[in-house]
Amino acid sequence: MELVIDDSVLVKNYMNGDERALEILIHRHNQRLSSFIYSKVQDREITEDIFQDTFIKVIKTLKKGNYNEEGKFLPWVMRISHNLIIDYFRKSNRMPRFEGNSDFNIFSIMSDDKLNAERQLIKEQIDQDLCVLIKELPKDQMDVLEMRIYKNMSFKEISENTGVSINTALGRMRYALINLRKIIEKHNIILTN
């Protein structure tokens, strides 16, 4: 019977200078992590690059002592690779860019019902980014936007819910979208489809 050393012990050993511990961790999680990356990018070379970049980040974080052990080594590594996959798709020309102009509707990119793995990853990241951006809006605009977009309420329902006229609700929505565009431009954010 072979003794299996827990990931957390291997991480501590590596942080204390045992290079072999990292080798064991990489070997242990190689197949699962490689399969995860490949399922998203569908390219062996890119999978290898992202796999290597993932462990370069892991090594740097561990060497700096910034890793907070909570018994979640593999999920942490998977999250790093997930972020690198998103970075890859954002940098590649495989995804069209949306340029901010007067016809641009920020929510049009959220309406794809049949997302492949690549688009699903990017959609999740955009959703997270939008939530952060929406929090920067004035409360009245944020409330109207959330009721309209996330709760799918009509302007009549929003009006009744907030106690303002339909025109005021429409105006708040309009200003919310204008202000979102300004925030996106100010922070030089690029949203991809």
Is residue 191 within 8 A of residue 126, CB to CB? The reply is yes
Q: What is the pLDDT of residues 66-117, one digit of tens each?
A: 887 676 888 899 989 998 998 888 887 555 444 455 555 555 544 444 556 7
CATH class of the domain at 106-186? mainly alpha
Question: What pLDDT score does 156 carry?
Answer: 87
- Fold classification of 7-91 is Rna Polymerase Sigma Factor; Chain: A (1.10.1740)
Of all helices (H) and strands (E), which one includes residue 116? none
Domain spans of the chain, in order of start: 7-91, 106-186
Question: What pLDDT score does 93 carry?
Answer: 58
Question: What pLDDT score does 4 carry?
Answer: 82
CA distance 193 to 187: 19
CA distance 116 to 186: 31
Q: What is the pLDDT of residues 12-21, one digit of tens each?
A: 899 899 999 9
CA distance 84 to 90: 10
Supply the pTM of this predicted model: 0.49
CA distance 40 to 85: 8
Q: What is the pLDDT of residues 22-78, one digit of tens each?
A: 899 999 999 999 999 998 888 899 999 999 999 999 998 888 888 876 768 888 999
For the residues 122-141, what does the mean pLDDT come to? 82
Question: What pLDDT score does 131 carry?
Answer: 79
pLDDT band at 140 (very low <50, low <70, confident <90, very high): very high
Which residues are registered as beta bridge partners of 192? 97
